Amino acid sequence: MLQKKFEDVYSKFRLHFYQNLFKKINTREATLTTVEAFSMEIIHYLGRPSVHEFAKIANISSPNAAYKVDRLIRKGYLKKVQSKEDKRKFFLEVTDKYNKYYNLSYAYVADVMDRVYKRFTNSELATMEKVLKVMSEELMPEIENSTET
């Protein structure tokens, strides 16, 4: 029963995102392909990865990753920023254009979290936070390990 409820919550977040995405598509031309949108989500999650780090997490070749990154830069969703410490290294950073796209999904997370804070006691919130922390830090090692370079 718990797994079903977890899947239900996860699916509702995704469904809300897709509803808003289609609403935006109906009012303007879609500018990101599905693969580009997934690529941007990976890059955003990683923070400021290098092209190599993105390629490793996405399980794609470095040339393929470089091609995707170049397309995303041309579309204005991504930029390369040179490292101040090592001028040979560049980091990928999302742009404001992507942040507007990203907020289609995560604005709803904020709305739901506002409702969670109103609905549950401080003790229940602490338990929820503990469970989510354990899930993130201990029970999903494939994700944590894959971000190590």
Query: What pLDDT digit, counting tens, does each position of 93-136 carry?
Result: 999 999 887 777 688 889 999 999 999 999 999 999 999 999 99
pLDDT at 7 over 50: yes
**Mean of pLDDT over the chain:** 88
Structure token pair of residue 86: 């090592």
How far apart, in whole angstroms, are the C-alpha atoms of residue 69 and residue 36? Answer: 9
The CB density around residue 31, as the number of other CB atoms within 10 Å, is 14
Q: Note the pLDDT of residue 100.
A: 83
Domain boundaries, the chain: 2-146
* Tokens (6 digits) for 16: 């809300």
Region 75-88 average pLDDT = 94
Q: Is the pTM higher than 0.95?
A: no
Tokens representing 124?
Answer: 């229940």
Collapsing DSSP to helix, strand or coil, 93 comes out as strand
C-alpha–C-alpha distance, residues 33 and 10, integer Å: 22
Using the predicted structure, report yes or no on whether residue 145 has a pLDDT greater than 80: no
Architecture of domain 2-146: Orthogonal Bundle (1.10)
| pLDDT value at 24 more than 70 | no
